Structure 1
């Protein structure tokens, strides 16, 4: 976990299972990670596909909350739309480096010049190690080692070296490491959404499973909301927890039902 996030996440938290969040009654804005939260983790990024129930749950939620829903993911916007079947107008991709407002307007950071050089080095590295998968994202490049965990130490050392040489940020994940253009994270994306309609004035809730989501948990709490950790207990800034994607979809359905039957005034 990044040092700043890790030190803040540890404040007042334990590794004990977190309580399940109650169904909110006040106006809320929901920020949802994709992999491990809305969708189960898979061996490769392409193995995660659209699923009718997930699409229906997201679409219902967007309608019930008057658009106050955004998917905030490490994936590109194109990948978010593919998996969510275009159910969420608002989304942030590549850890906040690309953001689409609820009205459809998009903003994208200019890729760091070091990304192309780092991506070439990563691809050369992966070509010599079976099972490694490189994912180019324009403003970032990811190296997945879920199918070859024996290379973890080498992968992390490579990322440290390339980040230092090319002025890039490192974003660790679950059996993946990303080198990205500096300047954004999921917390910054959440904060930007909360300054705009239809999110402004609501209480933010961030659902995530990974280290990247800790920035979102902290940003939500700073704005009067909270984080929900999905998956096994660990050191986290989240205040509540859900066991996995199925539990997430069930909880989101309960939120939709509450706001459909008891609309906020």
Structure 2
């Protein structure tokens, strides 16, 4: 598919919603291998100050992991696809975990026990199975996740070389929409940056509220209006927004 046009560097009262892995930080072999970066942290802090707090990180990771990697540079954050959400004032909403998540975690551990390279991630409100280091298992992982979703009623959320079974009810789009109803985001233009399928809900929500999405990475079918090739291009673009806001 043709690459999407680059987004404009000058925006009118934007509110920025940023995915973490693949957008602010390069993808890594394991979730723990993603670490803080001085340039990223500095860009986020300058941008948050310039936009009067209208910056939020919206990720599949927990808020604790977002803060570890971004060094708490974003006061507003949403974790686990909207199941955790911290407002600009520091108050936090967390969904009650579906009891079936425990069964999904156990099933993922049992499946991964004899398949080297698979990594199980327990986020309490969701269960993730990463196959970045075992890509030959992709079909088996997908089949397992689909079966478990049907048996448990959990929401199946495919991602970039990961599948996740999560407590139903939220996604990145519901998180963005909730932020936009509150200060300091209310009345601004939402811009969502993301790289994989989990971000499509955010792109759609931003567009519905008068903004747009920016797809990071290779071209594909998407609701995003613009595109950027990689993390370095994202940080450079964020710098341009900060300078012209």
Place the TM-score, normalised by the shorter chain, in its bin.
Answer: over 0.9
Q: Please name the residue that 1:122 is paired with.
A: 108
Q: Please name the residue that 1:143 is paired with.
A: 129
> 98, 103, 109: which one pairs with 1:112?
98
CA shift for structure 1 position 118: 1.0
Q: Is 2:173 the partner of 1:187? A: yes
Q: Please name the residue that 1:12 is paired with.
A: none
Q: Please name the residue that 1:11 is paired with.
A: none
Q: Is 2:179 the partner of 1:201? A: no
Instruction: Give the count of matched residue pairs.
Output: 245
TM-score (norm 2): 0.99
Separation of aligned partners in 1, 2:144 and 2:116: 16
SS across alignment from 2:158: strand
Q: Please name the residue that 2:138 is paired with.
A: 152
Q: Please name the residue that 1:221 is paired with.
A: 207
Separation of aligned partners in 2, 1:27 and 1:111: 36
Consecutive unaligned residues in structure 2, runs of 5 or more? none
CA RMSD of aligned residues (A): 0.6
Runs of 4+ in 1 over 4 A off after TM superposition: none
- Map Cα deviations across residues 98-134 of structure 1 (whole Å, 9 max, x no partner): 0000111000111001000111111111111111000
> 55, 59, 65: which one pairs with 1:69?
55
- Map Cα deviations across residues 46-82 of structure 1 (whole Å, 9 max, x no partner): 1100000000000000000000000000000011000
Consecutive unaligned residues in structure 1, runs of 5 or more? 1-14, 260-265
SS across alignment from 2:81: helix
CA shift for structure 1 position 234: 0.4
> 50, 53, 67: which one pairs with 2:39?
53
Separation of aligned partners in 1, 2:2 and 2:208: 23
TM-score (norm 1): 0.92
Q: Please name the residue that 2:153 is paired with.
A: 167
Q: Is 2:112 the partner of 1:101? A: no
Separation of aligned partners in 2, 1:160 and 1:28: 38
Q: Please name the residue that 1:90 is paired with.
A: 76
CA shift for structure 1 position 25: 3.3
SS across alignment from 1:121: helix
CA shift for structure 1 position 160: 0.7
Q: Please name the residue that 1:3 is paired with.
A: none
CA shift for structure 1 position 24: 2.9
Q: Is 2:23 the partner of 1:37? A: yes
